[in-house]
Each structure stands twice: as C-alpha cells, then as structure tokens.
Structure 1
Amino acid sequence: MTSPAAALAGAAPSVFWLEDQARPEALPPLAGRVGADLVVVGGGYAGLWTALRAVEREPGRSVVVLEAGRCGQEASGRNGGFASASLTHGFANGLARWPTELATLDRLGADNLRAIGDTVARHSIDCHWEETGELAVASAPHQLAELEELAAAMRAAGHEVALLDRTAVRARLDSPAFVGGLADPHGTALVEPARLAWGLRRACLDLGVRIFENTRATAIGEGGAGIVVSTTGGSAHAGQVALATNAFPSLLRRLRLRTVPVYDHVLMTEPLSAAQLALIGWAGREGVGDSANLFHYFRLTRDDRILWGGYDAVYHYGSRIAPDLEQSDRTHGLLAEQFFAAFPQLEGLRFTHRWGGVIDTCTRFAAFFGTARAGRVGYALGYTGLGVAATRFGADVVLDLLDGEETERTALEMVRRRPPPFPPEPARYAGIQLTRWSLARADRHGGRRNVWLRALDAAGLGFDS
C-alpha cells in the first residue's frame, strides 16, 4: 500500500493554481497620492468583483483597487474552485438561520451564479468554467440519514436533487467509503480559481479601473469631504471606500473579532491516466464534498488531476497569519492517508503539490455586511470558505449600501443583521479547540452532538471552514 510519506515525497510546497504560466506580471505599486470616486481595499474576488460591478453599474465611475500583494494570490487563488449558488453556506444553514427568506436567497444565489458564467463568457476568461453540479457523499449511516432529511427539505423548496443509495453513488464515483449521496445538478460550477481572479483583474483594467499591487493599506481616516486610505507608498482619497480584506485584519478595528482566520490545506495529484480514471468513474466530473463535520472536498482538474482538501481546519492562537503556517506535515500527511482510504484503487498515485491558505470564518458561516464613517465605508466579510461565487453578490450588497439604495438585497435580514463576534483570547482559542474536538467526536459517534455543540446550536453559533 502507498504510504502517505511516499505519495508526498515529490510534492512541491507551492500552490498549483498560482504556478500557471498564464499568471500576469505584477502591476506597479502606488507612489504618491491618487483620487477616485471609489477605493477598494483588497484585490481578491471580493475586491475585484466590487470594482468590476461598480463600473458596470455606473460607467464612468473612477475606481482604484489597492492590493497588498498580487491580485488573487491569497484565498482567491488557493481554493478548490467550487462556485456555489448558495449564499448561505448551504441550504441547511440557510434554512436554520433565515427560513422565511430562504426562497429569495436561493433565487438570488442562482441568478448570481448564472451572472458569473455570463461574465466569464463576456470577458473571454479562460478559467475552465464547468457547470458540473455537486455530489454530497455519505461515509456513515447517520450521514445518509441527514442527507435524506436534507433532500426532502430541498425538494419541498423546489430544488431538483436526487438521493443516491450505495450502488447509485458508486456508479457516479467509486469509493468503498461511500454509503450513499445527494446529487444537486444545478447548484455548483467548477473553476480554476486563480485564472478567474486574473480574468476579473483584466476585465477591471479594460474598463478603466486603476489597480495598484504590492500596496498595503495601513490606515483609514477622514480627509475633507471624503475618506483617506493611507498605504505603504502614498494615499488614496475617495468619496467611498469598500473594504475587501476578509481573513486579514480589517482597517476597522471593530470588525476584528467578527471573524477568525482559519488555515485550510490542500493536495493535488499527478494527472490520472485513462485507466486510473476508469477505476473510479466520475464521468460527470461533479465537485464532491463528504458529509462529515470535518469534511473533505475534491474535484477533477482540466488535465484530470484530483484536488483533495479540507478536513483539518486549523486556527492558530491570537489569529496568527504567517507564510510558515501554509505548510503542515501533519495535516498534509493526514490528508494523504485519507485520500488512499477513500480511493485504494489509486495505489501508487503521487501528489505533485501541497499547500495551505487562510480564509475567514464567522459565527454564522455566511457573509455579513455593513457600513461605517457615515455610510462612506462599506464592507463584506465572513464568507467561510464559500466565497468563490458569493463575493459577487457581496459586492452588489456593498455598492447598494454605499449608494444608499434600498434594494431587494438590502432588505434581507441576512444583510441587515450581523453575527455575534468571537470572544477575545484566550477564550477564543479554547472555544474553537473545544468545538473542533467536539465535531470530530460527533463524527466518530454517529453524529451525536455533545452538550457543548448543543449549546452552540441553541445560541445560533458555530465554527466552520
């Protein structure tokens, strides 16, 4: 049997998506003073969508984007590339938190996903956009029972989903670990994440947005009738500012306990041969996620590699973010071991890349929104690992709020209310570790949630990636 160490022996400690030869050259940093109608802080999906939607909604609006590194190099270029129609981190979370407006949220989410596909086509973004749908798999009887309940609720809400038994799920993707599954053919598209970010960057530039890379925003303040964003190389002045830094510390201190940074880790295999693909099936190429609390997500790439990630979401004391946290022998070894447990027929397959990245999570698992400085600063954050598509919706919400528009989006309870913050340290670290331990315990004991998890459920709180 292939040992995890042997399978990982040649894996480069780098992000597969970011090594692409299509990666654009860096743009010059800001030097001096620049003015605009709107300044966007952050050049990932959230910031790029905000800039693009701003000029699409109001042609002629001057927009500046400030990015501390290079656009798309953090979470936007490191994720699994699952673009979900869900704005609520899944139907079940939406049903639990916003039952009376879930139908509206589902419709807006489907429209949002469709609009992303239209944007990809309109701007000729070569990011291998695949509308594959998603397959949720169960590896234990209690998970299958939960999927049965979810399927019933989704069908009642008008979703076209199919509940699969062991034989049916293994006909789609053959693993001895699967006892059943739920197929949702319409809710997910797959994408090459870094190429999507680079394509949005190019679309912004083509429409006149000015982007300054390697320009870290250091402070935000008021200047005259507008807002001033100070940077490492100068300053940006605007009537409005949109903050899109997500996992990284916000320029608004009051937001810093609203999210915590969590490290997610990923493996990428070498390309599968036709014979290896035949051993597992996967003719539909669906994006797949298992149904455990500590879950995996996996998918095929354009050249038939398997991306395998998730499970061990890691929070570091004090909300620490640092490059050395992106590699973890323990977590990558665990992921490799779990990969071959799921697909023993792929004995001998090797991993070519291993990496990690930081995402933001909040206590309700779905993004939240707001304004500051008399409505002149807007923000969206807390996407909790589901921001590939939801950031476009978030961009429109932030622009609605900045423009003072009353829209269907701004009327949503999801938009009007913010989740409770995490506690300060050391309670934050202790609570997160207790929650992770409890979730793992529930996975091992038929899904039974202990007193701690039940208390969090009752309070509407949680921790997820």
Structure 2
Amino acid sequence: MTQSALASLKHAIPQPYWLDAEGPLPAFTRQVGEVRCDLAVVGGGFTGLWTALLARQRHPDKRIVLIEARECGGAASGRNGGFCAPSISHGVSNALKRWPKEAEALIRLGRQNLDDLQRDIERFGLGAEFEREGKLTLATTPWQIEGLKAQQRKYERFGIDCQYLEGDALKAYLDSPLYSVGLFESNYALLNPAKMVRELRRACLEQGIELYEHSPVSNLVRHADGLTLETAYGVVHTDRLALATNIFTSLLPGLKSKVIPIYDYALTTQPLSAEQLKRIGWEGRYGIVDSGNQFHYWRKTRDNRILWGGYDAIYPFAGRLDEGLTHRPETFVRLAEQFLEAFPQLGDIAFSHAWGGIIDSSARTTLFTGSDADGRIAYALGFTGQGVSASRFAAATMLDLLANQKTERTTLKMLSRAPVRFPPEPFRYLAVNLAQRGLEREDRTGQRNLLLRTMDAFGVGFDS
C-alpha cells in the first residue's frame, strides 16, 4: 500500500457521506399497542416508501401503515451512489441476454419509469438534488473497447441517444491516463439518496400515511381473515402486506436462498475546487463508470466532492449481516490507491468519508417480485445495486399484485419468475468466490472461463 493512499484517508469519517451530511434524523414514532390497517408496508427504504406513497394515490381513503426496523433509509437506500438508471433490467445488454423476447418491453418500461419518477419528484416537491445529466462509461482494454462499441450498436437499435468518444473528444468529458474510449448516454440521472429518502418520508407523512420507525417486526402470523405483524411493543393487523425488506428476508424464509448480501464500499473526497476539476477535464454533472466486471463508479456531490466506489464486492461466509463488515480498511486503501492511479493530477487529494453498505444480489442481477398467502402478501427484492429508480417500478408491481390486477408489469417474465436459488453453504461461498475469480481474470485477459460460460448458458450471473 502506498503512503499517499494512507495519508489521503487520515481524516476520513467512517460513516456514509450522505447520511452524515444530512445531519440529525427527524423525530420518529415507534409502533406501540394495537393497530389495524388496510395495507402494511414493512421496510422504510426506497421500495417501501414508494409503495406507501403510490398506494395512497390509488387508495385515498385506506389506512396505510409503514413499519421500519431502524430509521428510514439507514441501510442500502441511504448509502448508495445515487445512480438513477433508465432501466429496470440492469441495462440493455442484460435484458437482451436474459429475456430477449421481452427486451424491447423491458427497455421501454425502464425509460418510462425514469420519466415517471422525475414527474413524481416534481409533483410531490421532493428536494432530492435530482440531476438528469447523463452517464459516461469508460473502457481501457481492447475487449472492453469492443464491448463499448457493441453497446453503442444496441443503444442505436433501440433509439437510445449515445456518443462514442475517444482522443480529444473523450478528454472533453474526462482526462485520465487509464481510459482511452468512452460512451456517453444523455438519458441518465443522479440524486442524493439520503435526501430522497427523507423527502419520500416527508411526503408519506403529509399524505396521511402512518410511519413507525425503530419497530422491527419479529413475527408474521397468518389468519383466515388477515395478517398480524408482531413488533417489540405491539401488533399490526392488516388485510394486505407489502414486504420491502430486501436482504432482510426473515418474515418469508423461503426467500432467503434467492438473494445474497454483497458488501460494496465507497469514499468521498473533500470538496474540489473548479481548478482541480479542470485538471481532470470533468466539468459536467454526469456520472461515470468503467467497464470492468470489478468496476468503479464515481460522481460529484452538490458541493463538488467526488464519490468513488465499487471494485471490491465482498460476500461473507453464510451471508452474515453485520454492520461491522461495512468498515473494511483494506478496501478503503485499495480504493484510494486506484483513485490516485486514475487521477494523478489530484495527488494531494484527501478523503472525507469511507463507508460500506449491503447490496441484495440475485443470481440474475435484477429485481424480482412475487406474492404469497393467496395474494395477500407481495414482495420485491434482488435489486443488485440497481434499485434507486427500479424500486419505484417494483413498488407499483407489488401494488398490482396485491390488487390481483393483471398488468404489463405483473406479466413480465423478468419480474414474475423467481431467480435460481443460491446453493447452501459451503458451496455458496465457494461458488461466489470462484465466479469472482473468473470475473477478475476476464478483466485482466478478456477470456471468459468455463464456469462463467456455463453460468451464462443457464441464465445465472454475478454482478454488483
């Protein structure tokens, strides 16, 4: 490890930048006693908050209750990079590879969902620092460059605006010695995830939704005429239940083997000056990613910090859920070293925050939905790091399922067919690590090994 990387982390605060910047949490109410409602939503991240808010638009007079184990947005929704994709399928290539017959619908619905999300942000006055300024994807190796060219052709096939960049044209967007070509797409957004959560929370309260935090649900009891949720201080009786708990699957144990926790990590710099940003040729507000399987993502905050994350994707044995695992010094040092390699012009940079979070990953890298208890329970999970915008689509799909409505959303094979289950331990840990080694080797050589090709043939993948 380099001394410059270590020095850059000397004052990095070990908590998510977004949550730290937003300051003290708003006052909360704990669920106490007995409550009866028409719809209960468990989980106060993006998916749960969107579910409650969209449910209110459909049902102005029903009693809607949202229950969160800690504070709204304290898990993945408040810790991510804020990349807001025009996709529900983890991108165009993934849609074409896994669901070729419905790829056109998936791509159209993903773009429509981002439009609808922006309209809702404006309609409810959500001050989430929403910026629809595009995304730049970078490549460096010959096989990554060919991949970008193939991606450009797919975009053009579906009428997606994009621009292939190299040489001086690329330097006008970003000047880094690591990257030789890029593909810029204009229809992509960024937002502040912690502000988005707090604004959704505010909108829910203003819409008359009862919101209980620090109220973990310990048990789900099914009755002939309804459902009962047991919390530490009371119970909630409900006719319908939407589960928006993502990786926390204890209320429906059958979902446990369909997703695994992957720990992802990020840093933010101190605010950069205009002169520093000019050194690296990055004067726009677009987000940036590279083309590796072990990829980086980076973006600017409102005060011009650079958020730099990704690369390491850590699966702990037995899928352990532990806040302590979100602090991983060796990953923070690696990220700092890689940042300095990408931007030697910023050799004097200092990082302000270093943190991690959990991604709920499915074996096909996209969300899925389903129902239980004769349609009285709906769930959505498996977003695999792509949930900032797709969570809204998932929320609408759960409400369709709970209403027993057959819609274009509910008939999508991507959403309605469960992904392949992960094998039990220790085979799960071994399989994930072998897949990761294969992906790392492909980044170095451009060669996809037999294991990865076999997984491709069965529609199974691993990504973050």
TM-score by length of structure 1 reads 0.98
For residues 201 and 144 of structure 1, what CA distance do their matches in structure 2 show?
A: 42
Matches within 5 A, 1:60-79: 60-79=61-80
Q: Give the C-alpha shift of residue 28 in structure 1.
A: 1.6
Task: Please name the residue that 1:256 is paired with.
Answer: 256
Matches within 5 A, 1:41-440: 41-186=42-187, 188-440=188-440
Q: Give the C-alpha shift of residue 59 in structure 1.
A: 1.1
Deviations 1:291-341 (A, max 9, x none): 000000000110000000000010100110111111111101000000011
For residues 337 and 305 of structure 1, what CA distance do their matches in structure 2 show?
A: 17
For residues 130 and 13 of structure 1, what CA distance do their matches in structure 2 show?
A: 27
For residues 72 and 201 of structure 1, what CA distance do their matches in structure 2 show?
A: 9
Code of the residue aligned with 1:230 in structure 2: it is E
For residues 348 and 111 of structure 1, what CA distance do their matches in structure 2 show?
A: 43
Q: Extract unaligned runs of 5+ from structure 1.
A: none
Deviations 1:84-127 (A, max 9, x none): 11100011101111122222222211121112112222222222
Code of the residue aligned with 2:213 in structure 1: it is E
SS at match of 1:205: helix
Residues 248, 261 of structure 1: 8 Å contact kept:
no
Residues 246, 382 of structure 1: 8 Å contact kept:
yes
For residues 193 and 163 of structure 1, what CA distance do their matches in structure 2 show?
A: 29
For residues 102 and 22 of structure 2, what CA distance do their matches in structure 1 show?
A: 44
Task: Please name the residue that 1:32 is paired with.
Answer: 33
Q: Give the C-alpha shift of residue 379 in structure 1.
A: 0.3
Deviations 1:248-300 (A, max 9, x none): 23411110000001110000000001110110122222111100000000001
SS at match of 1:20: helix
Greater alpha carbon shift after TM alignment, 214-223 vs 362-371:
214-223
For residues 464 and 231 of structure 1, what CA distance do their matches in structure 2 show?
A: 35
Q: Give the C-alpha shift of residue 413 in structure 1.
A: 1.5
For residues 250 and 159 of structure 2, what CA distance do their matches in structure 1 show?
A: 39
For residues 283 and 63 of structure 2, what CA distance do their matches in structure 1 show?
A: 46
SS at match of 1:361: strand
Does residue 460 of the first structure (1) align with residue 443 of the second (2)? no
Shift of the 129–23 alpha-carbon distance from structure 1 to 2, 3 Å rule, reads: farther
Residues 297, 309 of structure 2: 8 Å contact kept:
yes
Corresponding residue pairs, total: 463
SS at match of 2:258: coil
Q: Give the C-alpha shift of residue 359 in structure 1.
A: 1.3
How many percent identity over aligned positions?
Answer: 45
SS at match of 1:388: helix
Residues 22, 195 of structure 2: 8 Å contact kept:
no
For residues 170 and 153 of structure 2, what CA distance do their matches in structure 1 show?
A: 18
Q: Give the C-alpha shift of residue 415 in structure 1.
A: 2.3
Matches within 5 A, 1:439-458: 439-445=439-445, 447-458=446-457
Deviations 1:407-451 (A, max 9, x none): 111121212211111011110000001111111111111x21111
Residues 26, 70 of structure 1: 8 Å contact kept:
no
Greater alpha carbon shift after TM alignment, 280-289 vs 37-46:
280-289
Q: Post-superposition, which runs of at least 4 consecutive aligned residues in structure 1 deviate over 3 A?
A: 21-24
Q: Give the C-alpha shift of residue 223 in structure 1.
A: 2.9
Q: Give the C-alpha shift of residue 166 in structure 1.
A: 3.5
Code of the residue aligned with 1:95 in structure 2: it is L
Residues 263, 314 of structure 2: 8 Å contact kept:
yes
Greater alpha carbon shift after TM alignment, 227-236 vs 425-434:
227-236
For residues 374 and 278 of structure 2, what CA distance do their matches in structure 1 show?
A: 59
Residues 22, 194 of structure 2: 8 Å contact kept:
no
SS at match of 1:3: helix
For residues 208 and 24 of structure 2, what CA distance do their matches in structure 1 show?
A: 20
Code of the residue aligned with 1:400 in structure 2: it is D
Q: Give the C-alpha shift of residue 139 in structure 1.
A: 2.0
Greater alpha carbon shift after TM alignment, 248-257 vs 312-321:
248-257
For residues 67 and 262 of structure 2, what CA distance do their matches in structure 1 show?
A: 23
For residues 343 and 61 of structure 1, what CA distance do their matches in structure 2 show?
A: 54
Residues 268, 353 of structure 1: 8 Å contact kept:
yes
Greater alpha carbon shift after TM alignment, 283-292 vs 363-372:
283-292
Residues 82, 190 of structure 1: 8 Å contact kept:
yes
TM-score by length of structure 2 reads 0.98
For residues 364 and 91 of structure 1, what CA distance do their matches in structure 2 show?
A: 14
Greater alpha carbon shift after TM alignment, 387-396 vs 16-25:
16-25
SS at match of 1:227: strand
For residues 186 and 448 of structure 2, what CA distance do their matches in structure 1 show?
A: 30
Code of the residue aligned with 1:91 in structure 2: it is V
For residues 204 and 341 of structure 1, what CA distance do their matches in structure 2 show?
A: 44
Q: Extract unaligned runs of 5+ from structure 2.
A: none
Q: Give the C-alpha shift of residue 23 in structure 1.
A: 4.9
Q: Give the C-alpha shift of residue 24 in structure 1.
A: 3.8
